[in-house]
Chains A and B, each alone.
Chain A
Amino acid sequence: MIKKIEISPENEKFLKKVNELSGQVITLCEQCGTCSGGCPLVTEMDITPSQMMRIVQLGQKEVLDYKAIWVCASCFTCTVRCPRQIDVSKVAEALRQIILRQAVDHIDIKAIPKEEIACLPQIALVSACRKFTG
């Protein structure tokens, strides 16, 4: 017997939004786990990249509460390895953008010690601001 997963209109709307922002067809993911296997930061994450993909497929906004989307360093390892040609880095970016566009920052730059700011390269500071603040 075929079981059909029904997605509520609200969840469908969320899925569409992530599809649009990322430019990816998230339903193409077949949960092979290649992204999670190759992710250099997976040990720091609370859910794996493939779990993140599954939650988005189901249109569940709770995905935004996980630390994993912020731990992603946009290294594109998952991007080059995905057998379904999904750019998982872009999906993580879309999820971060959904939060950042509500003017909710992920880091407080002012809280970083001055001596730390002084030694960090500009590319580190600018990219962190681009990825973690809106």
Chain B
Amino acid sequence: MNTTKETKSKSAENMKFPYYPGCTLKTTAKNFETSAIATARALGVELLEIPRWNCCGTVFSLAQDDLIHHVASVRNFIRVQEMNDYGLVKNENRLVTLCSMCFNTLKSTNRRMKDNAEDLKKINDLMYREEDYKGSVEVLHFLELLKSLGYDKIRDKVTKPLKDLKIAPYYGCMILRPKEIAIDDPEDPTIQKDLLEALGVSVIDTPYKKVCCGSYQTVKDKYIVAELAYDILSHARKKGAEALTTVCPLCAFNLDQRQQAVKEKHPDFEEMPVFYITQLMTIAFGLNKEVYGFEQNYVDPKPLLKSKSLIED
């Protein structure tokens, strides 16, 4: 009897993961965080926010000599080590991220530290007040975590299948490229498709699923981004999609909020909702509507969902 209890509590503890939110998940992408934490909990996974996390730097510095810009990411890895030392998690070095940009920056930095002992030593020496980073962390995107749980487990949690909903998954760049850090095939990813199919969605494939949305160019010239968004969204529409899904708060901004700029240039453009994939999971799992977070979506997805009888009001 005792043994069973022990095993049970141990397996429950094993499902606690260190979680790195990043800045944007606390502001413009709060709905991504809320919906992801709720869906994870429904699947028996606790995302434990890293104490005292700091900005990862948002982009991985590509210059060979620019070590100082990797310090921010490494500092977060030390926090994960501490979570293990203090017993907040038990032997869990897998660091889960939601934001694609944070994922790319953290994973690329981690790879450089693991592959280059001299770089790691320099960074550890610089942060002499911190414990050394030992290279033990593994950076995981939330989509990878869901995949590792198994899509059957996700299918079992679905109480409201999203049938009749035609969705084009959009991957963007940061979880697919470069190859060394990709979570899926950079040229033909299926990780979102597999997840959406488990929710009952009719998945629409489009070649624009991996075409860049323009990223940070949105700060300098929103119309560069608007042209890319126009191509991505109108092509999905032509293929029969009613909405897009993403896991990147910058792609979400460029494809959703920038539809305003798209309409300025293309008056005949028809708006299309853009979801965080976890928002669709909350509906399919029949979770409380408090965690949907649609008030932060620029193009209101509620009329579409109502038309499919997936939400009430």
Q: Name which residue of chain B comes closest to A78, CB basis.
A: B177
B87-121 contact mask (Cβ, 8 Å, vs A): 1 or 0: 00000000000010110000000000000000000
Judge whether B286 is part of the interface by a CB distance below 8 angstroms: no
Contact call A128/B216, Cβ cutoff below 8 A:
yes
Contact call B217/A107, Cβ cutoff below 8 A:
no
Contact call B62/A124, Cβ cutoff below 8 A:
no
**CB-CB < 8 A to B69: which residues of A?**
130
Contact call A73/B215, Cβ cutoff below 8 A:
yes
Contact call B216/A131, Cβ cutoff below 8 A:
yes
Given the complex of chains A and B, what is the CA–CA distance between A121 and B132 in angstroms?
A: 32
Contact call B59/A121, Cβ cutoff below 8 A:
no
Nearest CB in chain A: distance from B28 CB, A: 4
Contact call A124/B219, Cβ cutoff below 8 A:
yes
Binds B, one of A7-15, A17-25, A29-37, A51-59: A17-25
Judge whether B257 is part of the interface by a CB distance below 8 angstroms: yes
Given the complex of chains A and B, what is the CA–CA distance between A128 and B179 in angstroms?
A: 23
**CB-CB < 8 A to A124: which residues of B?**
215-216, 218-219, 250, 253
Contact call B217/A41, Cβ cutoff below 8 A:
yes
Binds A, one of B9-17, B19-27, B35-43, B268-276: B19-27
Given contacts A124-B253, A127-B58, A127-B101, contact A77 B216 (CB under 8 A): no
Using C-beta atoms within 8 Å of the partner chain, give the interface range for chain A.
35 or more
Judge whether A27 is part of the interface by a CB distance below 8 angstroms: no
Nearest CB in chain A: distance from B222 CB, A: 8
**CB-CB < 8 A to B62: which residues of A?**
22, 74, 87, 89-90, 93-94
Given the complex of chains A and B, what is the CA–CA distance between A40 and B209 in angstroms?
A: 12
Nearest CB in chain B: distance from A49 CB, A: 13
Nearest CB in chain A: distance from B74 CB, A: 16
Judge whether B311 is part of the interface by a CB distance below 8 angstroms: no
**Of B63, B102, B217, B257, which contacts A97 at CB under 8 A?**
B63
Contact call A22/B57, Cβ cutoff below 8 A:
no
Contact call B179/A40, Cβ cutoff below 8 A:
no
**CB-CB < 8 A to A41: which residues of B?**
212, 214, 217, 224, 228
Return 17 A-B CB contacts under 8 Å, by A number: A20-B64, A21-B63, A41-B217, A74-B215, A77-B177, A79-B178, A93-B61, A120-B28, A121-B24, A121-B28, A121-B29, A121-B249, A123-B22, A123-B249, A124-B253, A128-B219, A131-B216
Nearest 8 A/B pairs, CB to CB? A76-B177, A75-B212, A93-B62, A128-B219, A122-B23, A127-B216, A73-B215, A23-B64
Q: A73-B216, A128-B220, A130-B61 are in contact. List 19 more A-B contacts (CB 8 A).
A: A22-B63, A41-B212, A71-B224, A73-B214, A74-B215, A80-B187, A87-B178, A90-B63, A94-B63, A107-B220, A119-B257, A120-B28, A121-B24, A121-B29, A121-B250, A123-B23, A124-B218, A128-B219, A130-B58
